[in-house]
Amino acid sequence: MKSYSLGKGILCLLFLVVGSLCSPNTAFLQQKGEMIPRIKDAAARAFLSVERFEIDENKNVPYSVRGRLAVDVNLSDVSEVRQILKKSSAVFRIDTTTDDFLQKQITRDDLGMTHARVQQTYKGIPVYGGELILHSDAANTLKEINGKFVPGLNLDVSAWISGEQALQTALQDLRPATYRWLNSEQERVLKEVLNDENATWLPKPLLMIAPRNGDFEKGEYRLVWKMTIAIDGEKLGNYEYFIDAKTGEVINKFNSMPNDDAIGTGTSNYNGTVSFHTNTIVGGYEMYNILRNIKTYTANNGTSLPGTLLTDSDNTWDATAQRSAVDAHWAAEAVRDFYLVVFNRNSFDNTGAQVRSTVHYGSNYNNAFWNGAQLVFGDGDGVTFSSLTSIDVCGHEFAHAVTQYTAGLIYQGESGALNEAFSDVFGTNVEFYATPAKANWLIGEECYTPGTGGDALRYMNNPNLGGQPDTYDGTHWFSQTGCVPSQSNDYCGVHTNSGVLNYAYYLMSQGGSGTNDIGTSFNITGIGITTTRSIAYRALTVYLTSGSNYASARTAFLSAAADLYPDVSGQRSQEYVATGDAFVAVGIGVKLIAKNNFTSGTIKINGLSASSGYVFFAAVGGSQTLEAIPQQFQTYDRVWNTSGNGLSNWQKQPQGGQPAPIQGATNVIYTFNPVLGDNNATYIADLKKRYNVYRNDLTDFDGTVSAGIVAQIVELNSGVVSAPAQQTINSRDYRFYQWSDGVLASSRTVAPIDNMTLTAQYKAHLASSSSAATAPNNQREVSQVGWLLSSGLPERRPHMVCKIH
């Protein structure tokens, strides 16, 4: 055994004396990391050169050593392989008095490399999972040793029970079962497939060293009888049993058949008979979809989570008590598939996190929720709710998980309302995906008030029906002013104000027309749910942030729509326009009408805000109407674009004829024939408030000016107004001006007061001898008017007022 090369042997002996590295009993060194330098040193001595050295730091044993380890090796010779390993005992912490290796397999590949696979033994007994592979290249250089060696074993290897007793224990544990070895056809097939006359399914208990519960990390190794029990029928599987050879206890068991996935069928609350994936276990099935990593539990009407994983003996889940679990498990699969298939999202965290659902949470519990780690469903009290496991509720709760891992919308105020709305939006999307035939825009219709048909908790297509607003700040809007979020106010109405985004989403998808609570009329052509779900998903996952509000939800949706549905030939996509329109319809943002590159068209403006300018995008084609102009914007007359084009070819056509201002107009149509230079410009209509300044002409002369003529239109908020030109009488005429607010001035800057009147009185100076006033001047009115000349000149004061007839 001790056939070390001279140098290495001396080294090891030295260590025995100095530091006892060769002994596995080095507890003080086994602290994480402390032994590693010594093991590396040992590798450096054991091998010619090491290029890469990987070690399991918990176990202080390498799992891959690569380099130019040794030359002229012959791995086909098992004794040489054993020799090599024994020479590197300090590297793997091999105890040469107890540890050894059995040849398992030798392969030679196309590159001329040889791979020798060996099974670790301890006192001659195979160690479960203890396996190393040695690799040599075509030039017989040992390149690598990798695999798992279990060092430090210390146990007695005499069995106290027989293999036969152990087998009986395993069979007892599995009973009843259909044994594959009793099926002669299966036996024949096995012999044929393996081309081995002696091959059989009959279990053969083998003595092994294996860890309790299969826990290699903990490493409580026992002497076991290990066997594979091949079962057909309901329990189909290859069951690996590990029976403690001292105590007869089953220390580990599992089904190793590569696909132990089973299809269960069950009776659901809301979806009739459904099928879903379960896992075969000893004695039955559990609600565990291995492939998609979905587990469904019951809280058994308690509140501890996750509760108990559901099991069933025959995979037909038809008990009444199983219905909610059937719904939840089936729905979880549908939701998981929806995100995977539609968005290529692998579970809520996009890395395949387990989807856990717990049903029967609490007693008569009228809610469902996502607790940050799993889905939880109440049974409902039977009046307000029946079991809250309907597909849209499951989809709603799962969406909270997606939101948590993406936008992270804070669950209060507007961001909380958006969070809730996204849950309804994706809950509904899942409903349309999983159950298209019965899908609708109602939320919770299957479980809400089981005694009342046709109603729902919320209505995406008509939020008002569920007491939710369909307009931002409109009817039912939960005011955020001074609101301090708490559970009792639903964190400032998160389940109320969600109606606004719910409705916007509905309008985007399905279209609709009407007038919202703030008087904005809309008419939207829906773009379909498969389009809107992509836009919404992108808004949620790419643009929204934890503190987003409704205004930023709009821009997030628009950005998502622009990404997914870009301009076509410089024109806004239909999807983009519908997205913008839907937000305008719910009172968010101003109407964005397609952009540019049109050849002809008409502009429509609505949803005006009381600002000086109104920015919009010119529409592509179609009939666009400037409509619903609030009263204070009586007219406007300037439209320009940011390219600086004057748009002189734009023609204003106020409804009701030109050129009169349109008092309270609801429609003004602009038509235009844009030129190439108008492309990619933002068009701005500058809305003006119009002030009519009338001249109330009290002249005592016969004149050409008649009373009540509009002298000037002052637009917007201010402007300088001058009195109308004086009628020339002669050089000594005088004038008198008075404004309707009492100010005396011939010209002034006016404040925005509608229809202000300027009274201009024109008087003749009777002292004049050269009265050249135009006849007839027999209606002269002479008023006593103070007149102060500038200083340095004599004061001339009219002193009488008379009327000549």
Residue 801: how many CB atoms within 10 A of its CB? 11
Asked whether the beta carbons of 97 and 112 are under 8 A apart, the reply is no
Write down the residue that tokens 């459904």 correspond to.
274
Q: Which stretch binds ligand TI1 (CB under 6 A): 145-153, 283-291, 308-316, 391-399?
A: 391-399
Per CB under 6 A, the list member of 360, 396, 533, 765 interacting with ligand TI1 is: 396
* Residue 358 is a binding residue for Zn ion (CB under 5 A): no
Residue 725: how many CB atoms within 10 A of its CB? 10
* Residue 501 is a binding residue for ligand TI1 (CB under 6 A): no
3-state SS record for 351-414: CCCCEEEEEEECCCCCCEEECCCCEEEECCCCCCECCCCCHHHHHHHHHHHHHHHCCCCCCCHH
* Residue 400 is a binding residue for ligand TI1 (CB under 6 A): yes
CA distance 297 to 290: 15
When CB distances are held under 5 to 8 angstroms depending on the partner's kind, the choice from Zn ion, ligand TI1, none that residue 368 binds is ligand TI1
Q: Indicate if the alpha-carbon torsion angle 159, 160, 162, 168 is positive or negative.
A: negative
* Residue 393 is a binding residue for ligand TI1 (CB under 6 A): yes
Nearer to ligand TI1, 392 or 733 (CB): 392
Per CB under 6 A, the list member of 59, 292, 495, 538 interacting with ligand TI1 is: 495
* Residue 423 is a binding residue for Zn ion (CB under 5 A): yes
User: Phi, psi at residue 225, to the nearest 5°?
Assistant: -95, 120
* Cβ within 8 Å of residue 753, ≥6 positions away: 691, 741
Asked whether the beta carbons of 21 and 45 are under 8 A apart, the reply is no
Tell which residue, 711, 635, 645, has the closest CA to residue 672. Answer: 645
Smallest gap, in angstroms, from Cβ of residue 624 to ligand TI1? Answer: 39
Q: Which stretch binds Zn ion (CB under 5 A): 207-215, 345-353, 419-427, 474-482?
A: 419-427
Per CB under 6 A, the list member of 275, 367, 510, 555 interacting with ligand TI1 is: 367
CA distance 191 to 757: 112
Window 416-435: contact mask with ligand TI1 (x via CB under 6 A):
----x---------------
Burial (Cβ within 10 Å: 0-12, 13-18, ≥19) of residue 138: exposed
When CB distances are held under 5 to 8 angstroms depending on the partner's kind, the choice from ligand TI1, Zn ion, none that residue 594 binds is none
When CB distances are held under 5 to 8 angstroms depending on the partner's kind, the choice from ligand TI1, Zn ion, none that residue 367 binds is ligand TI1
Q: Which stretch binds ligand TI1 (CB under 6 A): 114-122, 385-393, 615-623, 658-666?
A: 385-393
From the candidates 131, 144, 240, 397, give the one annotated as an active-site residue: 397
Q: Which stretch binds ligand TI1 (CB under 6 A): 17-25, 345-353, 386-394, 723-731?
A: 386-394
CA distance 150 to 210: 10
When CB distances are held under 5 to 8 angstroms depending on the partner's kind, the choice from ligand TI1, Zn ion, none that residue 734 binds is none
Q: How many residues does the chain have?
A: 805
Nearer to ligand TI1, 499 or 674 (CB): 499
Nearer to Zn ion, 388 or 687 (CB): 388
Name the token pair of 529.
């749910």
In angstroms, how far is CA 110 from the centroid of its own chain?
A: 48
Nearer to ligand TI1, 243 or 460 (CB): 460
Q: Which stretch binds ligand TI1 (CB under 6 A): 171-179, 270-278, 337-345, 396-404?
A: 396-404
CA distance 426 to 563: 20
Q: Which stretch binds ligand TI1 (CB under 6 A): 395-403, 672-680, 684-692, 736-744?
A: 395-403
| Residue 495 among the catalytic residues | yes
* Residue 369 is a binding residue for ligand TI1 (CB under 6 A): yes
Smallest gap, in angstroms, from Cβ of residue 271 to ligand TI1? Answer: 16
Shortest Cβ contact with Zn ion: which residue? 423
* Residue 723 is a binding residue for ligand TI1 (CB under 6 A): no
Nearer to Zn ion, 89 or 423 (CB): 423
CA distance 702 to 667: 41
Name the token pair of 719.
């402007």
Smallest gap, in angstroms, from Cβ of residue 443 to ligand TI1? Answer: 5
Per CB under 6 A, the list member of 46, 388, 553, 750 interacting with ligand TI1 is: 388
* Residue 412 is a binding residue for Zn ion (CB under 5 A): no
* Residue 476 is a binding residue for ligand TI1 (CB under 6 A): no
DSSP-assigned beta bridge partners for residue 238: 230
From the candidates 277, 495, 575, 715, give the one annotated as an active-site residue: 495
Q: Which stretch binds ligand TI1 (CB under 6 A): 51-59, 343-351, 367-375, 612-620?
A: 367-375
Binding residues with ligand TI1: total (CB under 6 A): 15
Name the token pair of 16.
């025995």
When CB distances are held under 5 to 8 angstroms depending on the partner's kind, the choice from Zn ion, ligand TI1, none that residue 543 binds is none
Shortest Cβ contact with ligand TI1: which residue? 444
Tell which residue, 240, 220, 377, 197, has the closest CA to residue 303. Answer: 377
Residue 71: how many CB atoms within 10 A of its CB? 11
User: Phi, psi at residue 263, to the nearest 5°?
Assistant: -105, 115
| Residue 397 among the catalytic residues | yes
* Residue 359 is a binding residue for ligand TI1 (CB under 6 A): no
Asked whether the beta carbons of 230 and 180 are under 8 A apart, the reply is yes
- The contacts found for 112-120 with CB under 8 angstroms, 24 or more apart, are 112/137, 112/138, 113/137, 113/138, 113/143, 114/75, 114/76, 115/75, 116/75, 116/76, 116/78, 116/81, 118/78, 118/81, 118/82, 118/85, 120/149, 120/150
Per CB under 6 A, the list member of 153, 159, 229, 457 interacting with ligand TI1 is: 457
Please give the positions annotated as active site: 397, 495
For Zn ion, the binding residues (CB under 5 A) are: 423
For ligand TI1, the binding residues (CB under 6 A) are: 367-370, 388, 392-393, 396-397, 400, 420, 443-444, 457, 495
